[in-house]
A and B are shown apart, each in its own frame.
Chain A
Amino acid sequence: MKLFIFLVKRFLRLIITIFLVSTIIFFVIRVIPGDPAAVIAGIDATDEDIEAIRAKLGIDKPLALQYTEWLQRVAIFDFGKSMITDQPVTKLIMKRFPVTLTLAFFGILFGVIIAIPLGVISAVKRWSLWDYLGMAMSQLGMAIPSFWLGIILLLIFAVQFHLFPLFGFGGIKYYILPSLSLGFARAAVILRLTRASMVEELSKEYIVTAKAKGLTERMIKYKHALKNALLPVITVTGIQFGYMLGGAIIIEQVFSLPGLGRLFLTGIYQRDFTLIQGGVVFVAIIFSLINFAVDVMYSLLNPKIRIQ
């Protein structure tokens, strides 16, 4: 029952977040000086031209009306039409989203594969060579910007060894270097957390009890402690997945992948305000949904919350 109440509350917060995010974006766009219609019309445009564009964009209506219309449309995932190409923004997004999603998925996969085993070994064998390797990787992962890592990977594996393509887009091999660049920074955070979480778990009383009961070291460390230590790791991995959607914008530019980020950037370069507005809200909604899913998963996995 407690769990049910928690889930309902959490769901309500999801709705509130999405509402706030849509509201913020709506007003940010309108508060910032500059008239998008004037920008689109160009310098030579007459007042009538600008008025016509304003009417077409729907920004000649009263603000309150625009706002309620905007909220209604967000609720059904309709972000209007692109100012430049006149195509529905939702359709444009959905065409590009799979590329970004694949990129983020492989990115997190690389991150987890590197980070969790190394984090666990670092915690179990503190101050060993593994631990130092882990720390060095973690610091480097946080210090090296992913787009620079991408460029360096291209230099090594595309220019020097010709193992991967330098430009272009096609099958799975076009995803490997971008995912690695994206995943490395995420691995740093996950690694750091796995280590901290595992160290904390290993210092708890039940570990001592388990030792007193005569369980083997191996059993204690890798079954009891690891299981509990991974709980916060799941949360952070989920959140990191959300952040990747943002980071993907830059990585897609480095590797010229036709994903959401590229669409978004094109929108920015062409000053396509509806596309930008829709793109941001879309990513923010996905981001909130991921956080929601992570929280639900955490509460289902964590017996403490279930019982409370």
Chain B
Amino acid sequence: MNSHGQKASEKLLQKPLIKPPRSKASQRNRLFYASIIYLVILGAAALAAPIISPYNPNDQHLEERFAPPSGKYLLGTDNFGRDLFSRIIYGSRSALLVGIVSVSIAVVIGLTVGMIAALSEGLVDNILMLLMDSILSFPTVLLAITVVSFLGYGLLQVMLAIGVIFSPVFARIVRAEALSIKTEGYVEASRALGSSQLKIVFLHIIPNLLGKVVVQGSITFAISVVIEASLSFLGLGTQPPTASWGLMLKDARNYLVQAPWMAIYPGVALALTVLSFNIIGDTLSEKINPRIQG
């Protein structure tokens, strides 16, 4: 919540992790482009999964359970003899879908609530923000688990839960930005010239706060992917036999001795995805906010 200490530290945390001197900037750009390339490949793999997967992700080769990685099974097989590589490709679908849907829900709710709060100020503003802050006063994972436990298990419920839980983050950003943009000279001028409230919102305020929303969106995307994996790991998210990285790791936990590859590769895919979104978020935040020194 908004206390002295937390405000100060939040401001610090918004600074990009790496703000290199000019000579190091190219190194950073390389990481940024590498992340984009990885995500493009992942997205393409998700779309073209039926074409590029060597096997059907749910086909069980029971005589070849726990087969180690080889020419036949690139990343080995699991406890049902299913091809891990194909399952990882199909798993990218759940991961990306959760990110896209959850972030969209969070942005739409956050943008609406934040904008209403900023424009109305006073009592409405206070009530809306109090509500948003109280959602933020739960540990996220716990709240997601609770909501899903009542909504029922499954991917759709997880996406809804994550979307609602992260909307306050966007609401706060939108409100803060809108409040400051509102008082800028050009907005005042536009209002003096007779622009309607609606025109000001869509022509001036929203375009100017979009940058910050995109940065937060990228970071939230990463968090959503982790939460989906975590919930699936607990058996509350994606339901078997659908391939999901979290679900694959849940199975892997029971066969660490027989098949360590089951535990390694889905996690690598997961971590790389999260890493890419974080790096993109960091780089963008630095680009749209060049004044920040680190």
Contacts and interface: CB of A to CB of B under 8 A. Distances in A.
A231 interface: yes
Given A250-B234, A284-B138, A148 B249 contact: yes
Contact of B6 (A151, A197, A239): A239
Nearest to A246: B139
A231 B9 CA distance: 9
Contacts of B226: 145
Contacts of A203: 293
A90 interface: no
Contacts, number: 183
A249 B141 contact: yes
Contacts of B139: 242-243, 245-247, 283-284, 287
Contact of B140 (A29, A246, A265, A295): A246
A145 B270 contact: yes
A24 B256 contact: no
Contacts of A295: 3-6
B236 A268 contact: yes
State which size class the interface on B falls in. Answer: 35 or more
Contacts of A159: 256-257, 260
The interface residues of chain A, by DSSP majority, are classed as helix
A139 B271 contact: no
Interface residues of A, number: 72
B247 to A, nearest CB: 12
B191 interface: no
B213 to A, nearest CB: 20
Contacts of A140: 271, 275
Contact of A145 (B1, B15, B21, B229): B229
A151 B141 contact: no
Interface string B224-235: 001001100111
Interface of A: 10, 13, 17, 20-21, 24-25, 28-29, 32, 34, 127, 135, 138-140, 142-145, 147-148, 151-152, 154-155, 158-159, 166, 189, 192-193, 195-197, 199-200, 203, 231-236, 239, 242-243, 245-247, 249-250, 253-254, 264-265, 268-269, 271, 276, 280, 283-284, 287-288, 291, 294-295, 298-299, 302, 305
Given A138-B17, A139-B279, A283-B142, 16 more contacts: A32-B150, A32-B151, A139-B275, A140-B275, A148-B271, A159-B256, A159-B257, A193-B13, A196-B12, A246-B141, A249-B145, A268-B145, A283-B138, A284-B137, A287-B138, A295-B3
29 contacts: A20-B134, A21-B138, A28-B146, A32-B151, A138-B17, A139-B278, A143-B222, A145-B226, A145-B270, A148-B249, A148-B263, A151-B252, A151-B263, A154-B256, A155-B260, A166-B256, A192-B13, A192-B17, A197-B12, A247-B139, A250-B234, A253-B234, A271-B149, A276-B150, A284-B137, A291-B6, A295-B5, A298-B5, A299-B5
